[in-house]
Amino acid sequence: MEIGANTVGRPATGRELAIDPDRGLIEGVPYRPSPNADERPGGVVPDLIVLHGISLPPAEFGGPWIDALFSNTLDPTAHPSFREAAALRVSAHVLLRRDGALTQYVPFHQRAWHAGTSSYRGRPRCNDFSIGIELEGADEVPYEAVQYAVLSRLIRSLLEAYPGLSRDRIAGHADIAPGRKTDPGPAFDWHHLMRLLEEDR
């Protein structure tokens, strides 16, 4: 059962996703600034993309709850699973909904608080050098075709805007925080995403 109304814009299908390099924002995508962000360490530019899965309540989709989580306004009494989540101070650069709609919360040149305790190829503190993309989903629930289509466009646009990024530096939250995190989960089709990225070349 879905709780609440979906509060994002139109799906980002069928159009290019242009990134304004000065503002670090996707043009034409709703921007809801999260307080859970700060500046990257001096001289650090993003060179890793981290994919996450998120649903509030767990395995339920739609509603205003992810927006509320990233804005620190999640009501802990609205659902039993929110009691602990409401105390978190987290964000992501972008959320990709089940219908392909995007919302941005943190400019790409800033540090979003999405990875937590993490390490990539021996390098700790992934928040410092990564871009975090949240996919509305759950570990065991197949992601939607439109999510893969929009995700591949978004990644292509990020690769063009930020030369430090590359196709071989895309990881899941589970990869950078093994044993602590499992998302985007076994339902996420990495091979399909990579095929789409190859087709986009």
Residue 198 annotated to the active site: no
Tell me the three state secondary structure of residue 188. coil
Which one is catalytic: 39, 84, 134, 144? 134
Quick one: which H or E segment has residue 51? Answer: strand 48-54
Read off the tokens for 75.
């009501």
Phi, psi of 113 (to 5 degrees): -100, 80
Q: Are 39 and 110 in contact (CB under 8 A)?
A: yes
Q: What angle (nearest 5°) sits at the alpha carbon of residue 81, between those of residues 2 and 61? A: 25
Give the catalytic positions in this structure: 134
